[in-house]
Amino acid sequence: MTRSWLVTGGSRGIGRAVVDLVAAAGDCVAVLARSPVANGPAPPGQPGAGRVLAVKTDVTDPESVGDAVETVREEFGSVDVVVNCAGVHRGGRVEQLSRERWDEVVSTNLTGAFEVCRAAVPLLASGSAVVNVGAVVGLRGFPGDVAYGSAKAGLSGLTQVLAVELAARGVRVNLVVPGFVDTEMTASLSDRARDRVVDAIPAGRVGTATEIADVVVAVAGATYMTGATVPVDGGLMASFGGFAR
């Protein structure tokens, strides 16, 4: 059965990996992102590939989100899965981080997900799912991530509340929590910071965007799971030592 997906932040990183995976399986997917992506089948030329609809969207702007979701409604009619993956990272300890950067991170990672859910819920029928993409630093403290960690912790709370609110409608809401993953966002880390994180991962390596996307798709299809937090982190959260200071 073909499903319709709405993926924010789907032009790169984990979001793009989700888009590629579900489109290759023959599903339709709307990509809401600031950066443009190509419309049409994806991967290009693959038989049976689903349709990809690119909708330029700023998730921090309620009007932009509303217009984007209306475009998806006109094109797809309904949505079976919403994946909130749009995110921005701005590092800095509490005494160093500016209010401007704090607001940028929270408005993108947390408020943006709220706006997308608020606009998309009317399109979600019974059996639909919302998958929010969190981060280990939202559940475990990491110095220098005060804004990003706070926003992702808030996303965890949003997931819990929406799971309860939407259960009566048959809509499931879950949180997938990636650990350290090779993406453009993590590429900016210094070698020292990267080594500190990898040393704390029991699996001894970073993850890939495709490995996270596999779990996002599995969680979206889990018919008796809602309000759950699903780590995909190589054992990072299970480790007693955790992050180095």
Q: Which are the catalytic amino acids? A: 148
**Residue 66: how many other CB atoms lie within 10 Å:** 15
HSE-CB at 189 with a 13 A cutoff on CA atoms is: 19
Do residues 28 and 2 lie in contact, with contact meaning Cβ atoms separated by under 8 Å? yes
Closest CA to 151 of 219, 89, 216, 215: 89
Q: Which two tokens stand for residue 194?
A: 């990267």
Q: And the tokens for 7?
A: 């993926």
In terms of Cα–Cα distance, which of 129, 133, 191, 104 is closest to 12? Answer: 133
Asked if 145 and 190 count as a contact pair (C-beta separation under 8 A), the reply is no
Strand order in the sheet with 124-133: 40-41, 51-56, 28-33, 4-8, 79-84, 124-133, 172-178, 229-232
Residues 6 or more apart whose Cβ sits within 8 Å of residue 182: 206, 207, 208, 209
